[in-house]
Amino acid sequence: MSKIRIFLFLCLVIIAAPTTLIAQKEGNNWFFGKGAGITFNTTPASVVSGGQMNSREGVTSLSDANGRLQFYSDGVKVYDARHQVMPNGTNLMGDNSACQSAIAVPWPGHPNKYLIFTTMVKKGVRYSEIDMTRNSGYGDINTSVKNVPILPDNLSTEKFIITKHCNNVDYWLITPTMNSNNFYVYLISAAGVSAPTIYATGTPIPNDYTAWGAAGILKVSQDGKMLAHLRGNQVMPTLNSFCEIFQFNNQTGAVGSVITSIGNWNQAYGIEFSPDSKIFYVTTALQPYTLMQYDLTATNINASKLLVYQSTNVAFGAMQLGPDGKIYVSGESGFNNGTPFLSTIEQPNVLGMGCDFKYASMNLSPGMVLVGLPTIMTDYVYDAMGIKYTDTCVNKPTTLTLNAPGTVTGINWEFGDGTTGTGIAATHQYAAAGTYTVTAHYSGPCNSGTSQAIIQINGPITTQQKISICNGGTYTLPDGVQVNTAGVYTSVIPRKDGCGNDSTIITTVVLNESYQVTVNAETCFNTTYKLPDGRIVNTSGDYTSTLRSMFGCDSIISTHLRILPQYNTLQTLPICNNEPVTLPDGRIVSAPGTYTSVLKTVVSKCDSTITTNVVTQASQYQIEVVDTCLQAGTTFKVNTTTTAVSWDFGDGQTSTDITATHTYAQSGNYTVTAVATGICSSPITYTRNITIRTGSRETKIIHVCNGNVYTLPDGTITGIAGDYTTILPNIYGCDSTIITTVIVNQPYYSTVDTTICRGSTVVLPDGRTVTASGRYTSHFRSLYDCDSIITTNISYHPDYNTSETINICDGTSYTLPDGRIVNTAGVYTSHLKTYKFLCDSIIISTVNVINAVSETSAEICEGTSYTLPTGNTVNTSGDYISILRSYQGCDSIITTHLIVNPTYKFEVTAEFCESNGYELQDGTIVNKSGTYVVKLQTYKGCDSIYINHLTTVKFPGISLGKDSCLMPGKPLILTPGPGFQTYQWHSGETTPFITVTHEGMYAVRVTNSCGSAAAQIRVIACSQELFVPNAFTPNGDGKNDVFRIINYHGQQLLRFSIYNRWGGEIFTTNNPLKGWDGRINGILQDVGAYVYLIQYKNLEGQERILKGTVTLLK
């Protein structure tokens, strides 16, 4: 809505399709309000977060056929599925304060492309193209097809709607226009958006931008047969908001006559049809905040109004059918002050309070709901061609039809049991209960297709079951009877399938016994015992196991468990010098270690464990050696206390020192023996192998490139040639000497100059082949990996490429540079070799032959001139001879045949019908008055100019108004309006108006250059006052059956009451069209006189009371 109405507090209503229907998924994701979002990809619908929408009113959302979000928009910005603004998705020409700011559909015949339409008062209706292959598959707007206008700014409103063409491929875009009762209807097809077809019907929208006429909502019914147009308050704050429902043809796009006009509300905001198109819902945005229901099948639709709900603090707003069979209702508690919840109408196809409105039934927090909901095509949330059915009882008629057949003219049915049928609504009786797949093959004037549904036919069911019970137990049969004895029992249960069918259950009851057993058990210490019920225990005690038999009866096993003791002992046995010992289990060992002997007790046979630690007094000792380098003293000793040691060093030398030192004369491997006394009772011999090592001496030569360095073994860095000595200890601690000779190598540089013919090749020192002149560097590595650089300078030998132009006179010849002789015009190439280097030289010779005599023809347009070969200028037709002498001295005679072609100029004055347009000479169609200049060219290329002075003429559309009253002494003046060519009244008069003094039917026909139109009006002789008859006969013959006011012409009825003879009021109303049928609670009353009292205001506003008696006759 326009910003001048921001003081209003509005809300929103969401309407969804029935749950029994299979909806498409393009309408499965909604983003609206302040970060609010819901998805119907889950059951039930659930809240989704991440939406970036911040719009109080008009928005749109669209998904693909699989329910994947594609984009959403407030008419200004377009957001992709990642909730990011598309790269070119800004500055659309909608407005989020418009009731229906935007709507989008796939572009038929153009996969992955969508058209998004926007509207707003004074901004026009426009469309843009969204290409979903761009932006990594997230879509972007094609800037060359952005904000394309299809309705002028001065005609646009806040509302439009799109609905499917009945061919199920194309779409219709419908929008009303300002200052008229015109609906502009556009066809959206693979060819694009068509020019509009204009339908004038209903009440005009006034050209008042401060009122609410431009606000409101457009909706198309689910069966595609009705178009609803909601109108805001025409003059604020008068209670005159209303809605007109029109006939609509989704095959031609035609908007027909008004079916009904309902209203007199205080600023209605939301409207929606029920899924079956039989019920209409309306919300109001000003106090009182109401949700209303109307029966579209009623004779008096206005009188069928039902107040479903009235809120005191939350205003209701827009409504949109959803995919899950509910109507979602939202609201805001103040202007732009959202609420965190939605309400729902659970059963929108049910009349009355059975529609089941639930307030605040879905929490959207942290999202906030305002007044706008996505404007989405009905076809995307409701499957009009889905199958619906009633009565699913076996051997009873089942009725099947489509949800909204619309223009379907024929259906061939396959009932799933091998039989078929035809008809828009088919009735079929199934012979057996079960599940059936029903198929409907439908066809119509512009589309055909197939729908399927799976239905369950209900019938009587007999089942059998076998039940086992334990002795003493009971079983409750399906019918509630309890039994405790074996037998066969029959239960008959009524089923709640709506068919009155019974379920028969035959139960066989079997009686089973229970068992009780005692068991004595033993187990060894540190082992476990498994009880019959599976429990594992390891302590003595009494255990009770309760088991279930295969029939569920108790079996009790009592287990008495005793844990037998276990014995564990530890002993230590010392040995010396590998003396043998005997373990408890009889094994004999002589090596130290820990030995486990497991024995069985004599009585219980449980394990008894004896652990024996065998320890030695000598084996853990050895010879210790210090320093094994040659020419250094090596020290030996046994690493324990001894009294004497006898050493043999392995090189023929001995010693008796407790700690001995020995120097070896040569390096090598030696076995050292020590005989030690004082460790055990007898001497112990120890041996050890050692290696006596010497230091090493190494010489090496190192090459380095000039400028590089080398790191010596001791870490010293040098880049200078010389000999370097390094002494290092080896891993054994002996000195090693390394002598390093460092040699510094120099790099090599050379330059080679060479020349070649252009186009020849040269092989460089590094093997590369080049054909162009230049400086080339070749890098090599020497034997010692130092750089060698060869620079090759290549230049071209001079070559020669020249050209010449030769003019010869006709009949002479020319010798080319290569010796060829020519006498015809042309371009000749001569290839020669240079003398010294044999390189190619090319000479291109252009030879022109000067003709002596020639003719030429020329044409020019009138008003232009032509220049002859002599330079003279001429502008008239004729033959002109030009004699020239070339600078080669050749005569040239040129005859020019000149023709001057005429140009044309026309002026056209014409009138045309606005609805047809006028085709200009270049094929352009115009539909507005004005002067149009068209420039064409003749086949000779000369201008022809048409000046068109055009005036539009509208098709005559007239009205004489509603039926009128003729008051005594006050004649009426009737006129269809001025400006028509002819007037023809029914009375023969031909004036623009006539004066009426008598009641009757009056008609007039007018004509203009676009056609003719007619209108009529009934004039009734009226009275200021009301009248009633003095008797009536309610006998059902259709004549005088009801006692009512007989001359109501707009007087205001305040009260109409009837009383019996005792003064009791038996009838009252304030509806001037209602009367008394002589009955009370449906019972016809006795013949006699009854008193009536009528209180009213006459046509001049004066209050009157009319009372008297009326006689009831039979």
Report pLDDT digits (tens) over 529-567. Answer: 888 888 998 888 898 888 776 666 777 888 888 888 777
**Phi–psi pair at 836, nearest 5 degrees:** -85, -50
CA distances from 869 to 847, 861, 882, 1005, 1099 (A): 21, 19, 6, 73, 97
Instruction: Name the most confidently modeled range: 142-151, 594-603, 889-898.
Output: 142-151
Q: Is 685 exposed, middle or buried (0-12, 13-18, 19+ CB in 10 A)?
A: exposed
Q: Assess whether pLDDT exceeds 50 at residue 21.
A: no
Q: Assess whether pLDDT exceeds 70 at residue 764.
A: yes
- On whether the 387-457 domain is CATH 2.40.70.10, my answer is no
Mean pLDDT, range 265-289, rounded to an integer? 89
In 3D space, the residue among 561, 573, 572, 569 whose CA is nearest the CA of residue 607 turns out to be 569
Q: Is 179 exposed, middle or buried (0-12, 13-18, 19+ CB in 10 A)?
A: middle
What pLDDT is recorded for position 888?
A: 64
The CATH code that applies to domain 964-1021 is: 2.60.40.10
What pLDDT is recorded for position 921?
A: 78
> Residue 258: pLDDT band by 50, 70, 90 thresholds?
very high
> Residue 629: pLDDT band by 50, 70, 90 thresholds?
confident
In 3D space, the residue among 1046, 1027, 1023 whose CA is nearest the CA of residue 1094 turns out to be 1027
What pLDDT is recorded for position 704?
A: 81
**Phi–psi pair at 1044, nearest 5 degrees:** -150, 170
- 3-state SS, residue 352: helix
Model confidence, pTM: 0.46
**Beta strands in 639-757, from DSSP E residues, in sequence order:** 644-648, 654-655, 660-662, 668-677, 684-692, 697-705, 710-711, 717-718, 722-729, 735-745, 748-756
Across 73-77, 434-438, 615-619, 1042-1046, least confident range? 615-619
What pLDDT is recorded for position 887?
A: 61
In 3D space, the residue among 1080, 1083, 1099 whose CA is nearest the CA of residue 1021 turns out to be 1099
In 3D space, the residue among 902, 898, 892 whose CA is nearest the CA of residue 873 turns out to be 898
Instruction: Name the most confidently modeled range: 45-54, 770-779, 1018-1027.
Output: 45-54
**Residue 870 corresponds to which amino acid?**
T
> Residue 186: pLDDT band by 50, 70, 90 thresholds?
very high
**Residue 449 corresponds to which amino acid?**
G
Question: Would you state the structure tokens that stand for residue 627, as one six-digit string?
Answer: 């320093």
Omega before 869 cis (within 30°)?
no
What pLDDT is recorded for position 836?
A: 66
Architecture of domain 623-692: Sandwich (2.60)
Mean pLDDT, range 157-173, rounded to an integer? 92
Beta-carbon count within 10 A of 17 CB = 30
Question: Would you state the structure tokens that stand for residue 798, as one six-digit string?
Answer: 């001079």
Across 82-91, 228-237, 457-466, 928-937, least confident range? 228-237
CA distances from 1070 to 299, 324, 1052, 1094, 1099 (A): 19, 42, 9, 9, 16
Q: Dihedral of CA 364/367/373/376: which sign?
A: negative
Q: Which residue has the higher pLDDT, 449 or 184?
A: 184
Q: Assess whether pLDDT exceeds 60 at residue 301.
A: yes
- Hey, do 10-380 and 964-1021 end up sharing a CATH topology, with the first three levels equal? no
> Residue 16: pLDDT band by 50, 70, 90 thresholds?
very low
Q: Assess whether pLDDT exceeds 50 at residue 706.
A: yes
Q: Assess whether pLDDT exceeds 90 at residue 147.
A: yes
Q: Assess whether pLDDT exceeds 70 at residue 604.
A: no
> Residue 2: pLDDT band by 50, 70, 90 thresholds?
very low
Architecture of domain 10-380: 7 Propeller (2.130)
> Residue 462: pLDDT band by 50, 70, 90 thresholds?
confident
The CATH code that applies to domain 1031-1112 is: 2.60.40
pLDDT tens digits, one per residue of 941-951: 787 788 888 88
What pLDDT is recorded for position 237?
A: 52
**Which H, E and C letters describe 107-159, residue by residue?**
CCCCCCEEEEEEEECCCEEEEEEEECCCHHHCCEECHHHCCEEEECHHHCCCC
Domain segments of the chain as ranges: 10-380, 387-457, 461-512, 515-564, 571-616, 623-692, 697-745, 748-796, 800-850, 853-901, 904-953, 964-1021, 1031-1112
Q: Assess whether pLDDT exceeds 80 at residue 506.
A: yes
What pLDDT is recorded for position 18?
A: 29
- Distance, first Cα to last Cα, the chain: 60
pLDDT tens digits, one per residue of 369-420: 999 899 988 777 777 788 888 888 888 899 999 887 877 889 999 999 999 9
> Residue 456: pLDDT band by 50, 70, 90 thresholds?
confident
What pLDDT is recorded for position 1020?
A: 80
Q: Assess whether pLDDT exceeds 60 at residue 22.
A: no
Mean pLDDT, range 750-755, rounded to an integer? 83
Percentage of residues of the chain with pLDDT beyond 90: 29
In 3D space, the residue among 185, 186, 212 whose CA is nearest the CA of residue 200 turns out to be 185
What pLDDT is recorded for position 7?
A: 28
Query: CA 29, CA 31: separation in Å to the nearest integer?
Result: 7
pLDDT tens digits, one per residue of 32-53: 999 999 999 998 999 999 999 9
Mean pLDDT, range 507-514, rounded to an integer? 81
Mean pLDDT, range 183-195, rounded to an integer? 94
What pLDDT is recorded for position 234?
A: 64
Helical H segments across 949-1059, by residue range: none
Average pLDDT score, the chain: 84
Q: Assess whether pLDDT exceeds 60 at residue 13.
A: no
Instruction: Specify whether the CB–CB gap between 1 and 21 falls below 8 A.
Output: no
Q: Residue 879: which H helix or E strand, with range?
A: strand 878-885
Mean pLDDT, range 841-850, rounded to an integer? 82
Q: Which residue has the higher pLDDT, 316 or 1100?
A: 316
Token pair 């229901």 is found at: 293
